[in-house]
Amino acid sequence: MNDPGDAAADELVQYERDGRIAVLRINRPDKLNAFSDEMVRALAEQLRRFDTDPEANVAVLCGNGRAFSAGADVQQRQLRPREELERFGGPQAPGAKVGDLFVHSVNWKPVISAVHGYVLGLAMGLMLDADLVVAERGTRMQITEVSRGLGGARYWALLQFRGAAAFGTELALTGRYFTAEEAFEHGLVNRLVEPGTALEVALALAREVDANPPLSVRASVRARRWYLRRLTEEADMMQQPMRLYLTEDFHEAALARAERREPRPFQGR
């Protein structure tokens, strides 16, 4: 059944409920669900809605169209005027920081990410922040921040938290594409499924979780997210003084992406 909600949030992130399972669908398929500031805020609103919905115990997060998400909207978030980057302390506007989405909770209900197509940059962080992950075969993933000049410290921390070890360090340093099959091999996802079945399998997994007493489930979720937040905040603290978002290399990489060309040689400044 559908619940009434904020119209703007519902347009960008759809919310529906099937019994005690909420489904949140990222809904910008014409842009491969790339995240603008408005989309991040809409997702935050729908996660709060789930958190306080007395009829919902587990959520599944997925994307409409050909991809879970292609990551950040480069034009809006990475090509901001320098004055905004300095004022915001980075590409993410106030109230639109993806790393905060799962840490401001009241009831600590579990979220399962169901991914397909592409999971790039920001979206990879979103996938790994979720408590469980279902991924379709052939899904392509990448820490795009590495090649954009923003650095992959937070993603390295997320990968280490999930036990990726040497594989996670490789991804954080090379920024290469990798597949859902590789992710499953290295323990980054819980279920590797056939194309077109991620949502179905995620819903079945959600029902397994929901069969347990909800407060005992939430105790584990709260502990997991506390440790995850501590690790990622330490990584952010280490990287923040470098202010990579103000470097020439970052601007050139973002501009090259927006102009669909290869970046000019990086200068290390």
Exactly one of 145, 170, 185, 259 is catalytic; which is it?
Answer: 145
pLDDT at 5 over 60: no
pLDDT in tens, 23-47: 999 999 999 999 999 999 999 999 9
* CATH code, 7-196+208-258: 3.90.226.10
pLDDT computed for residue 2 by the predictor: 44
What is the value of pTM for the model shown?
0.92
CA distance 250 to 150: 6
Mean pLDDT for 3-10 is 66
| Segment 163-195, tens digit of pLDDT | 999 999 999 999 999 999 999 999 999 999 999
What is the predicted pLDDT for the residue at 3? 47
The yes-or-no verdict on residue 4 having pLDDT over 60 is: no
Of 113, 10, 102, 19, nearest in space to 69 by CA: 113
For residues 4 and 94, the model is more confident at 94
CB 236 within 8 A of CB 245: no
**Using 50, 70 and 90 to split pLDDT, how confident is the model at 248?**
very high
Comparing 126-140, 212-226, 255-269, which segment has the lowest mean pLDDT? Answer: 255-269
Residue 10 region by backbone torsions, left for phi larger than 0, else alpha for psi between -120 and 50, else beta: alpha
The confidence score (pLDDT) of residue 8 equals 76
Whole-angstrom CA distances from 222 to 60, 104, 217 are: 17, 11, 9
Six-digit token string for 121: 């940059």
Residue 84 designated active-site: no
Backbone angles phi, psi at 212, to 5 degrees: -90, 160
Burial-class residue 84 by CB neighbours within 10 Å (0-12, 13-18, 19+): exposed
Q: Is it the case that residue 1 has pLDDT exceeding 60?
A: no
- Residue 77 confidence (pLDDT): 82
Lowest mean pLDDT among 3-17, 113-127, 163-177, 185-199: 3-17
pLDDT on residue 193: 98
Q: For residue range 230-245, list pLDDT tens digits in order.
A: 999 999 999 988 999 9
Answer yes or no: is pLDDT of 7 > 80.
no
Share of the chain above pLDDT 90, in %: 83
What 3-state DSSP class applies to 163? coil
6: confidence class by pLDDT, cuts 50, 70, 90: low
Q: What is the pLDDT of residues 57-106, one digit of tens each?
A: 999 999 999 999 999 988 888 888 899 989 998 888 888 888 899 988 99
Residue that the structure tokens 């938290």 belong to:
161
Mean pLDDT of the chain: 94
